Structure 1
Amino acid sequence: MADILPVEVPEDFSRCRNRDHTGKLCPIPDDLRLTYGYGTAGFRCRSDLLPFVVFRMGYLAGLRARDLNQAVGVMITASHNPAKDNGVKIVDPKGEMLASEWEKADALALHQKRTQDVIAAVLIYAVKWPLLTAAIHYLPQSFTFRTAIEEFMKLIIVLLSVSP
């Protein structure tokens, strides 16, 4: 499954290469539960560790928008916290808190070590799309079949527009 994922994680947002706003390397600890706190429809932590979380939440927001066929928001929060603390939350289409089944999926997805397991967590707990399974054998013609499946999988990618 890893080679057909519809997302490639930029190195600076990976667990081992996470960087803060100054470019300083800030790897994500193995035990995320000690690092990230889940609050009102979102996660909060030290700002140097947040890029990793923001990337994953942005991807999950895209999946949520695709599931609803509506716009979904991603909000960076910090107004009442010290400058070194920040947060990120996903906001449903009418400005309401994220649906509870998605909160569970997001929390589980954040703690996965492998990116493909992030998608699996969302598909299992939150998305109402029909699930598809594909098995490919290794005959010469299999490459064509695999390419067709990969192109289909790319259809779930959500194009993001970022406003200032």
Structure 2
Amino acid sequence: MCAKIFLNKTTVIEINNELIENLLCFRQLGNEPESGGVFVGKRLFNETILIVDFSKPSKKDFQRRYHFSKKSSHHQKLVDEHFTESQGYISLIGEWHTHPEEIPIASRVDKRSWNKIIEENKDERLFFLIIGNKSCAIYFRELTKWRTVEINLERDLI
């Protein structure tokens, strides 16, 4: 089974339930540190973004209760492997991280980091998922403005 998350009238993200369950294992329900990684997938001609895989945090990453920073090269390695094996059809499509709050809200640090990632990748279509304890938020840029789609975990995904 696959969940469909509509970003706007034309763009939808599809992610299979197993990937969702694996992502939700990283929620900060106790005293866990923030976790994060990257998404790889493909953009289809009908404006669908299909999430294929995601990287998990490693011991080399910087993880604190209120901060996550990718330091391990395995995140880029995952992107490179999928890109090569798919002959360029599967690539970086976004990033994810957790927040220790029920309804996650992006900080200024988050948005600054995302702007830098978009600039470095020269790709305005990247999206960024923040996983909270009761909901998730997907951030994406549309005509230079940040837009958000909130996903209620109990109602929309689980």
Which bracket does the TM-score occupy, shorter chain normalised?
under 0.3
Counting strand residues as a fraction of each chain, which structure ranks higher?
A: 2
Counting helix residues as a fraction of each chain, which structure ranks higher?
A: 1
Per the normalisation by structure 1, the TM-score is: 0.25
Of structures 1 and 2, the one scoring higher in RCO (CA 8 A, sep 6+) is: 1
Who wins on radius of gyration, i.e. which is larger? 1
